[in-house]
């Protein structure tokens, strides 16, 4: 499907932006130069008749994105949390995309539930409401269980949503391939891998069984986190297209007026959103990767309530340590150490000059730290870092895309609650605590124990592995010319097993 016919889809995107009047707003938000604005209008105007009309009652940018489909809506949801990038007016328009999209009929939802769970809705729920929220992929109904009388949220996928997403992703692949072909310098950014990563995330979101599993894991990880509540899924009433989960009662995090009227401390809430995200990313390596205001509420007791677990991020232990050291280095203005971490992790080619890279990082950090707190922005930092990566030939790290995107979103959410928040000051205690616990002598001992345990599982097989390897060498290489095989690592592994057992006993 990834053929030239996708040109029509991309042309229609530009034509839709022109027809709805969104193109002017987008270019203005980007602060595009007059020449670029003129080129965009010239390219878009002849094909205006191909553009989708959308809902005339909506503002231009929202009208265009909703007409173009779910993938574009997802993009708009992210931008809605970044008024510092797109401006307050456009951010307010895009908030519509979070949970106020046109719903599909409740009869269709009930039919989907009955087909998926093989039981009529009236037998499962004593109450079943009209849609209470409708987003790009699914809509939610408030219901009450017939057996226990508990309130639950029932999430149902939109009809035909998978096919619609595949059409958009197909066009994105075509665009990425065209970019790589026309601009070889862009290949270091690996646009095809970026789209492939996006496809994996989205396809996972279209199976609500995976979301139920994510909710259960996230709830288990965060059970002891003060000031956070995570609804748990009802497994017996969940399937591929339907998910039933505890009802989350509270005030929408986007409603500042209601939060103030209820007496909630928005400054404290902004700090908690940012710190909880960092704790989950660093401590657990498993974080909510779609933390916009539409997926967060505030309970009556002031606790944050998180829901919608369709997009989750996962980091391995090593990546978490690298991420923490980079953040900590910027916080301490230790640019040399930040440079070293990039080289150690292989993020920068080894043939580049580390001192020059450290100087470039200082150029990134110093202007930001010299700003007034309300102007310190993760978006600005990432923008500057992008310039540095281009200069030093760094490739896009696909495993960090979701983390970086989520951090930008979370910063936008925190700043919407407290425009004067200092993200570095709020992040510092979380990062310092992680550094103390996971980087240093105690962490080294733990790593040795884990290594010993892994080698210990292969201990009984070590003699046979050594013998088989030596036999294979002697039969494939003439004896006089054969070099001694480096079996020291196997022998050393046995010794390390013993050391690990001893260290484990001491710990």
Give the E-state strand segments of 277-317 in sequence order.
Answer: 286-288, 296-298, 304-306, 312-314
| Residues linked to residue 128 through DSSP beta bridges, in sequence order | 143
In this structure, are residues 57 and 24 in contact, taking their beta carbons and an 8 Å threshold?
Answer: no
For residue 126, what is the enclosing H or E element?
Answer: strand 125-134
CA-based nearest residue to 152, from 222, 76, 218, 212: 212
Considering just the CA atoms, what is the radius of gyration of the chain in Å?
Answer: 26
Residue 289, judged by CB atoms within 10 A of its CB (0-12, 13-18, 19+), counts as buried
Task: Let me know: does 462 contact 493? Beta carbons within 8 Å.
Answer: yes
Per DSSP, the residues of 230-262 read ---B-GGG--SSEEEEE---SEETT-HHHHHHT
Phi-psi region of 371 (alpha: psi -120 to 50; beta: other; left: phi over 0): beta
**What does the CA dihedral 387, 392, 395, 398 come to, rounded to 10 degrees?**
-60
φ and ψ of 118, to 5 deg: 60, 30
Residues belonging to the active site: 290
Give exposure, 219-246, as e/b (b: 16+ Cβ within 10 Å): bebbeebeebbbbebbeebbbebbbbbb
């Amino acid at each position: 499907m990834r053929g030239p016919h996708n040109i029509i889809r991309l042309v229609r995107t530009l034509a839709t932006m022109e027809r709805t009047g969104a193109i002017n707003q987008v270019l203005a938000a980007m602060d595009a130069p007059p020449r670029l604005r003129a080129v965009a209008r010239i390219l878009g105007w002849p094909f205006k008749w191909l553009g989708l009309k959308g809902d005339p009652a909506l503002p231009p940018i929202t009208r265009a994105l909703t007409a173009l489909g779910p993938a574009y809506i997802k993009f708009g949801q992210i931008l809605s949390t970044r008024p510092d990038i797109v401006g307050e007016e456009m951010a307010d328009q895009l908030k519509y995309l979070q949970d106020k999209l046109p719903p599909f009929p409740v009869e269709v939802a009930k039919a989907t539930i009955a087909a998926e769970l093989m039981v009529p809705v009236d037998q499962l729920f004593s109450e079943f409401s009209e849609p209470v929220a409708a987003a790009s992929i699914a809509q939610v109904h408030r219901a009450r269980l017939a057996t226990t009388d508990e309130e639950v949220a029932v999430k149902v996928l939109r009809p035909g949503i998978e096919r619609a997403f595949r059409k958009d992703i197909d066009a994105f692949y075509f665009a990425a391939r065209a970019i790589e072909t026309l601009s070889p310098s862009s290949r270091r950014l690996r646009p095809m891998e970026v789209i492939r990563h996006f496809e994996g995330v989205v396809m996972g979101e279209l199976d609500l069984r995976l979301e139920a599993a994510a909710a259960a894991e996230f709830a288990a990880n965060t059970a002891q986190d003060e000031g956070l509540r995570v609804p748990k899924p009802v497994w017996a009433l969940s399937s591929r297209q339907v998910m039933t989960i505890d009802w989350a009662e509270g005030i929408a995090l986007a409603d500042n007026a209601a939060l103030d009227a209820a007496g909630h401390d928005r400054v404290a809430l902004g700090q908690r959103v940012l710190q909880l995200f960092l704790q989950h990313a660093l401590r657990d390596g498993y974080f909510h990767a779609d933390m916009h205001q539409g997926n967060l509420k505030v309970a009556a007791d002031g606790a944050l309530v998180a829901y919608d677990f369709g997009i989750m991020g996962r980091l391995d232990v090593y990546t978490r340590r690298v991420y923490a050291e980079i953040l900590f280095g910027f916080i301490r203005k230790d640019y040399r150490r930040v440079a070293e971490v990039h080289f150690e992790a292989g993020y920068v080619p080894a043939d580049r000059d580390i001192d020059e890279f450290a100087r470039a990082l200082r150029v990134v950090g110093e202007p930001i730290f010299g700003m007034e707190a309300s102007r310190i922005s993760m978006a600005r930092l990432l923008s500057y870092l992008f310039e540095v990566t281009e200069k030093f030939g760094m490739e896009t790290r696909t495993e960090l895309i979701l983390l970086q995107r989520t951090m930008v979103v979370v910063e936008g959410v925190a700043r919407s609650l407290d425009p004067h928040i200092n993200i570095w000051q709020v992040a510092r205690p979380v990062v310092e605590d992680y550094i103390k616990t996971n980087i240093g002598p105690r962490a080294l001992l733990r790593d040795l124990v884990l290594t010993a345990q892994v080698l210990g599982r292969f201990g009984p097989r070590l003699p046979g592995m050594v013998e088989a390897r030596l036999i294979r060498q002697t039969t494939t290489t003439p004896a006089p010319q054969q070099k001694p095989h480096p079996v020291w690592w196997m022998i050393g592994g046995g010794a390390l097993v013993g050391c690990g057992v001893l260290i484990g006993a001491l710990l």
